[in-house]
Structure formats: C-alpha cells, structure tokens
C-alpha cells in the first residue's frame, strides 16, 4: 500500500484520537497545547469506558454509538467547565501566535523524521509485525470489528470464545483502531501500523512538549524542539511499537507525560502554569482512566514517576513553615509506602508479577546502558547522553527541576533491576511491568527528554547572557531559541537524529527475511494461501491448525475462524486440547468427530514450519500434523508446504 492510499486511514485515526478529546478539553476550559496534549488521553478514556458500558448493556460497538458516547462525555465536561468558570477559573493554556508557529514547525519536522524512520524500518503500512504479542492484538481488533463488542471485559473471550474466564484486558487501543478501520475501510494490518505510527510521532511528542513546557515555561525553543528530541530515543517510542509488539502499552506510556504535567502543576513546580490546579485534578483523572484502559502498567508508570514530583512539592510546601509540616511530609511518605505494600499484596496482580524474564545484562552493563541510552542491548546514543547528563548536573543546582534527578534515578533503577536481577524478589519491584526490561526502559525517555531540554535551554541562556554582557545588547543570532535550534541541527547533522538505528529497531520485527524462519509468523506465500482460503472456506467454518505455523493470522487477514486464536494453549485437558492431540485420527478415534461437530471444525490446515520452532509449546499439537496418509481428509488447497484439508471423516454419511 502506498502512503497516499493510506491517507484515509491516517486521517480517520487522527480524528478518533483527537476530536472527542479536543471537544472535552475545550469544554473544560483548556486551550492551546494543553488541549491538544490531553485530547488522546480523554478520547481513549471516554471511548474505552463507553465500550465497556456498551458491552455490559448489549449495545453494539459502532462508529455511531462511539460518537454518541463522545457527545455524552463532552456534555459532562461542559457542565464541569461551567462550574469551574462559575468558581472563578477562566480558560487556560492559550498560545501566542509565535508559539503556535513554533509548535507547528516542530510538529512537521517531527512527523517527517518519524515517517521516514517508520517507512524505512517497516517497509510499508501493509507489512505485518512478526512478533508474539502482535497475534493477540491483530486478532483482538478483528474480533471487535466482527462482533461489535469493544469491551475490555470481553476481549479475551472474543479471541478465544471456547476458553472460560477470559477476564479483563485493556481495549482502548483496539477500540480506537476499530473505529478508524470502519471509518476508512482499511484492513487490520494497515490500521494497526497507522495507529502505532501516530502514537509515536504525534501523540508522544505533543504530550512530552506539554510536560517540558510545564517544567521550563513557555519558551519558543521548547515548542519547536521538544517534539524533535522526543522521537530520537530508541527505548521509547520505537521499541514499544515494534518489540512484542506492545501497541496498547505504547499508547499508555505516550499518555503518561500529560498526567505528569498535571502533577507538576499540583505540586507548585510549574513555570507560568498552563493548566492550573483545579483543572490539573481533572487532567490527572483523565490520564489515569486513559492509561488504565490503554494498558494498566502505564498507570503504574504514572504513579511511580509522579511520586518524586509530589515529594518535592510537599518539601516546598513545608520549607520554612515549622516542624509540623515536615512531620506531615514524613506521614505522607509513610502513607504512600503503606499503600504500595497493600497493592503488592493484591492477588489481582499476581499473574502479571509472576512473569519472570531472564536477565539480559549484568548490573554494571545495565547502568552503563542507562547512562548511554543503550538499554535493551541497543547501540549507544552518545550525543543525547552527554546532553542528558549535563541536564542532570544543571537540575541538581536548580530547586525547581531537582525532582528530575530523583525521577531519573528511580526509573533507571527499575530498569537495572529488571535487566539484571535473577532473584524472584524483583517481582515486588518490577512485577507490574511483567519484570520486563523493555517495558521499564520505556519510562526513561520521559525523564531524559526534559533533561536534554534543560541542557539546551540553560546553556543557550548562558551564552545569551554572556553576549549581552559583552555587547550590551542581545544579538538575534545569539538568542536562546536560535542557539537551541542550532544545537539540535548540529545533533541532527552528526547523528541523523539516530534514524538508522531507530529504523533498524523496527526492521527486526517488520523486515524478517527467509534466512530467519524462526522469527516469521506469516510469509508472502501464506498470505496468498489465506486469500485462497477466504475464497473456498465458508465464513461460518472453523479451521484447526497449529497456531505456531502462522494460522492465528487467518482471522485478521482472511476473516476465517480458527480453533486456536492465540499462540498459547491455556485450556489443556479441554476438548480443544483433545483435538490438538488427536484430530488427524478422525477416521479411527470415535471421540474426535463429536468434538469436531460440537466445535464446528470443518478444516485442518497443516504447515511443518513454525514461528519460534525452539519453543516447547509448538509440540502441543501433534494431532494437527499433516494427515496426508490418514483416511478421512480431502485436500482442498495447497501452496508450497501449506495444505488445507476438508475433514471428510466427520461429514454426515449420505
């Protein structure tokens, strides 16, 4: 698919990401960058909540029902905005003309850099992400579109309807993608890639710019350069939109800076606050809901990263006002620690926390990775790292920015624990992120981007002051904005904004070649076969196949149902498990055909090559091996090593 052909999908994704949230923001009295930055969180929260309510009420999830839900949310925000104005809180966040221009120019540059990186890394919007978690997200999106149910309470059961007790899975990303797919007519693959791209190069740069603007004030250079710097870090956004693939997690992390910007306002640490305390509470609420419905570990990221801001805010509140206030601060710290212990004991989080990944680095290497922005064993970004470390030194010397240092130490420490520690005790520290180093490293750019901007702004101001002292005037070419821009241009000329290594990160999962068959879910030959299967297999038929041979993509790509919709067989001992072991004995095993009829299985798809062939789970399906020599199976379609059989042994006798 060409990029012009994808324009309807891009515009529709942008519309659902921003329009509901922008209307809500405007109703609350938010303007300018503040309204733009909060819009995706508000949209995700409102639409994700509506999808759950509709699922419980039996209301179909469609563009019309989603639009009505957005309208109700806007009306609610209008009421709250009216109350705020009545209480003497005028609209906030307006931008001057030059700041709008700076933001627009910075956004266009960022979009261009991001587009080029994504295009080179993926090879196109119709390329499949050959990654473990991508199977679930593709299938989930296809299931929502087929069943018109976008509820996070139903997503697991939609993908695997025969597996009881699906539980909750955050579905805001899938809900947004489904609306964009319906609105544009684009397929599941294209819409998933478009939404991933927009989260990386539009949503995250905007939210980071709001956070940096709260920290450093309304500087032209902040609006112009923060978006550009935001897309230069490999740990986020580029790793989370490729590794995994963790698209919902990426959406959640991209929303976190808005919540942090609001907490900066509440803590009294903002420069010329663009939010205001009354509305900051609302932004925190909207961000918590938005991140929770995008991916809950982003909500934990928000809580962890907000803690240093709150702590320094409380210290500022207590400073010079007597011992009682310091005791109150100590009490607040103890209360927070107690709350963390209570959450740690909650059984609801045990399945996530008990996921233990093997270490990827020793402790010194993990620390070095943080200091050089080379987490997850990627190439170092030395230029950015120097700017970051200078920013740490500057922040130490300035009380208002000192919380950045504690935050940097905190998120860096979490990454080191996940990347290095073997002891299961780490599940109490990093368990909310599956003890997974790439998920934890995604938080680091949320601190390093502000630190880089601190370096650029304070250094430019120093040069500006020196020039004014020397020449008794402020030459335009030595203004802070020009100097910051020149510094970023030098960075770009020296490093190409790290585009080659960022594109390489994407290529690991999108440009999988034939020499890496273990890393390929679906190749071009299989996609051709799936198109043929869509032609010959009825829409209500179910196809049995080992999910590790790529057949899990039959539903997202061809709209044909499979017996095993995800890669893991969670219901061992069930009817599905029995067929996984015995289906190719349909003509001789008397138990098989009754199960085949009960589960509406009509076809068997065989393929001897598996994704991750080294994984022992690939061996759980011996009954789905090629039945060529067995009676009761009729070959229907063939493409290379792939064969589709009709299970004739279980058809009614005539």
| DSSP track, 545-562 | E-GGGTGGGHHHHH--EE
Which structure tokens are listed for 312?
């320094």
Residue by residue, what is the 3-state secondary structure of 354-396?
CCCCCCCCCHHHHHHHHHCCCHHHCCCCHHHHHHHHHHHHHHH
175-195 average pLDDT score: 97
Nearest-angstrom CA–CA distance, 170 and 147: 17
Cβ-Cβ contacts under 8 Å for 352 (sequence gap 6 or more): 297, 431, 432, 434
pLDDT score, position 165? 58
Least confident span in 530-534, 571-575, 638-642: 571-575
Cβ-Cβ contacts under 8 Å for 485 (sequence gap 6 or more): 221, 224, 225
pLDDT score, position 600? 92
User: Of the segments 69-73, 168-172, 512-516, 580-584, which one has the largest average pLDDT value?
Assistant: 69-73
CB-CB neighbours of 319 under 10 Å: 11
Least confident span in 66-75, 167-176, 485-494, 501-510: 485-494
| Chain-centroid distance, C-alpha 434 | 15
Nearest-angstrom CA–CA distance, 646 and 589: 17
Q: What is the pLDDT of residues 393-415, one digit of tens each?
A: 999 999 899 999 999 999 999 99
Nearest-angstrom CA–CA distance, 404 and 400: 9
Nearest-angstrom CA–CA distance, 609 and 631: 23
404: cis peptide before it, omega within 30°?
A: no
Q: 589 vs 244, which has greater pLDDT? A: 589
Nearest-angstrom CA–CA distance, 437 and 488: 29
pLDDT band for position 470 (50/70/90)? low
Return the percentage of the chain with pLDDT > 90, whole number. Answer: 77
86-101 average pLDDT score: 94
Reference 356, options 432, 427, 414, 296; nearest CA is 427
pLDDT score, position 40? 98
3 state SS of 449: helix
Reference 453, options 158, 238, 198, 209; nearest CA is 209
Q: Tell me how many degrees the CA angle 355-358-364 measures, rounded to the nearest 5.
A: 125
- What is the maximum span of the chain, computed from C-alpha positions, in angstroms? 102
- For the chain, give the mean pLDDT: 92
Nearest-angstrom CA–CA distance, 9 and 195: 9
Reference 193, options 118, 116, 114, 107; nearest CA is 118
pLDDT score, position 156? 87
Q: 32 near 95, Cβ under 8 Å?
A: yes
pLDDT score, position 477? 54
pLDDT score, position 654? 52
Q: Decide if pLDDT at 653 tops 70.
A: no
Q: What is the pLDDT of residues 325-374, one digit of tens each?
A: 889 999 999 999 999 999 999 998 888 888 888 889 999 999 999 999 99
Nearest-angstrom CA–CA distance, 598 and 570: 19
Cβ-Cβ contacts under 8 Å for 160 (sequence gap 6 or more): 166, 564, 565, 566, 570
pLDDT score, position 61? 98
Instruction: Please report where in the chains the tokens 């103890």 appear, as a residue.
Output: 334
The DSSP symbol for 30 reads B
484-500 average pLDDT score: 79
Q: 236 near 441, Cβ under 8 Å?
A: yes
Q: 356 vs 77, which has greater pLDDT? A: 77
pLDDT band for position 493 (50/70/90)? low
Nearest-angstrom CA–CA distance, 90 and 84: 8
pLDDT score, position 495? 72
Q: What is the pLDDT of residues 222-240, one digit of tens each?
A: 999 999 999 999 999 999 9
Nearest-angstrom CA–CA distance, 284 and 290: 10
pLDDT band for position 472 (50/70/90)? low
- pTM of the full predicted structure? 0.95
For residue 61, report the phi and psi dihedrals to the nearest 5 degrees: -85, 110
Q: Which domains does the chain have, with CATH numbers?
A: 7-507 (no CATH), 518-650 (3.40.50)
pLDDT score, position 514? 76
Q: 138 near 553, Cβ under 8 Å?
A: yes
pLDDT score, position 479? 67
Q: 398 near 337, Cβ under 8 Å?
A: no
pLDDT score, position 117? 95
Q: 353 vs 24, which has greater pLDDT? A: 24
Tell whether the torsion through CA atoms of 42, 45, 47 and 50 is positive or negative.
negative
pLDDT score, position 494? 66
298-322 average pLDDT score: 93
Nearest-angstrom CA–CA distance, 12 and 180: 5
pLDDT band for position 469 (50/70/90)? low
pLDDT band for position 560 (50/70/90)? very high
293-303 average pLDDT score: 97
Which structure tokens are listed for 369?
């990775």
Nearest-angstrom CA–CA distance, 524 and 400: 55
pLDDT score, position 578? 93
pLDDT band for position 463 (50/70/90)? confident
For residue 653, report the phi and psi dihedrals to the nearest 5 degrees: -75, 140
């Amino acid at each position: 698919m060409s990029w012009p052909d994808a324009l309807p999908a891009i515009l529709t994704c942008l519309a659902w990401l921003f329009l509901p949230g922008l209307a809500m923001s405007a109703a609350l009295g938010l303007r300018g960058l503040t309204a733009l930055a909060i819009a995706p969180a508000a949209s995700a929260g409102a639409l994700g909540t509506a999808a759950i309510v509709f699922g419980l009420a039996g209301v179909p999830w469609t563009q019309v029902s989603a639009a009505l839900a957005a309208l109700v949310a806007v009306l609610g925000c209008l009421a709250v905005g009216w109350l705020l104005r009545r209480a003497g809180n005028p609209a906030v966040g307006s931008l001057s003309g030059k700041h709008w221009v700076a933001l627009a120019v910075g956004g266009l540059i960022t979009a261009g850099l991001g587009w080029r990186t994504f295009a080179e890394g993926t090879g196109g919007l119709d390329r499949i992400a050959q990654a473990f978690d991508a199977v679930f997200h593709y299938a989930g999106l296809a299931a929502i579109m087929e069943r018109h149910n976008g509820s996070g309470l139903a997503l697991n059961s939609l993908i695997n309807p025969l597996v009881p007790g699906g539980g909750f899975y955050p579905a805001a990303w899938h809900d947004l993608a489904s609306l964009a797919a319906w609105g544009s007519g684009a397929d599941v693959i294209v819409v998933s890639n478009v939404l991933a791209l927009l989260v990386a190069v539009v949503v995250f740069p905007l939210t980071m710019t709001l956070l940096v603007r709260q920290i450093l004030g309304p500087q032209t250079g902040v609006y112009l350069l923060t978006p550009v710097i935001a897309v230069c870090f490999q740990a986020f956004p580029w790793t989370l939109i490729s590794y995994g693939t963790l698209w919902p997690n990426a959406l959640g992390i991209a929303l976190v800076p808005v919540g942090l910007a609001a907490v900066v306002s509440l803590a009294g640490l903002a420069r010329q606050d663009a939010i205001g305390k009354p509305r900051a509470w609302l932004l925190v609420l909207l961000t918590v809901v938005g991140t929770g419905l995008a991916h809950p570990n982003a909500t934990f990221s928000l809580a962890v990263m907000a803690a240093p801001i709150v702590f320094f805010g409380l210290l500022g509140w207590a400073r010079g006002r007597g011992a009682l206030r310091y005791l109150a601060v100590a009490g607040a710290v103890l209360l927070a620690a107690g709350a963390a212990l209570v959450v740690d004991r909650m059984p609801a989080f045990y399945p996530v926390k008990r996921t233990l990944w093997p270490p990827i680095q020793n402790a010194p290497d993990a620390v070095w990775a943080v200091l050089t922005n080379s987490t997850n064993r990627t190439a170092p970004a030395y230029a950015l790292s120097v700017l970051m470390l200078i920013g740490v030194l500057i922040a130490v010397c300035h009380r208002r920015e000192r919380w950045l240092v504690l935050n940097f130490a905190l998120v860096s420490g979490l990454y080191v624990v996940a990347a290095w520690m073997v002891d299961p005790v780490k599940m109490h520290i990093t368990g909310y992120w599956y003890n997974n180093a790439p998920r934890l490293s995604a938080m680091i750019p949320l601190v390093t981007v502000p630190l880089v901007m601190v370096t650029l702004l304070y250094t430019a101001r120093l040069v500006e002051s020196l020039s004014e002292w020397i020449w008794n005037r402020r030459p335009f070419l030595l203004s802070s904005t020009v100097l910051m821009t020149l510094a970023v241009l030098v960075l770009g000329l020296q490093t190409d904004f790290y585009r080659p290594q960022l594109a390489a990160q994407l290529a690991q999962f999108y440009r999988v070649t034939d020499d890496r068959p273990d890393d390929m879910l679906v190749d071009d030959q299989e996609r051709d076969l799936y198109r043929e299967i869509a032609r010959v297999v009825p829409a209500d038929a179910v196809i049995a196949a080992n999910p590790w041979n790529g057949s899990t993509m039959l539903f997202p790509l061809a709209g044909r149902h499979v017996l095993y919709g995800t890669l893991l067989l969670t219901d061992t001992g069930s009817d599905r498990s029995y067929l996984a072991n015995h289906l190719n004995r349909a003509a001789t095993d008397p138990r098989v055909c009754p199960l085949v009829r009960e589960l509406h299985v009509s076809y068997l798809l065989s393929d001897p090559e598996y994704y991750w062939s080294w994984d022992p789970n690939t061996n759980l399906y011996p009954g789905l091996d090629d039945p060529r020599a067995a009676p009761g199976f009729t070959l229907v379609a063939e493409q290379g090593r792939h064969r589709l059989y009709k299970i004739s042994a279980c058809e009614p006798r005539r």
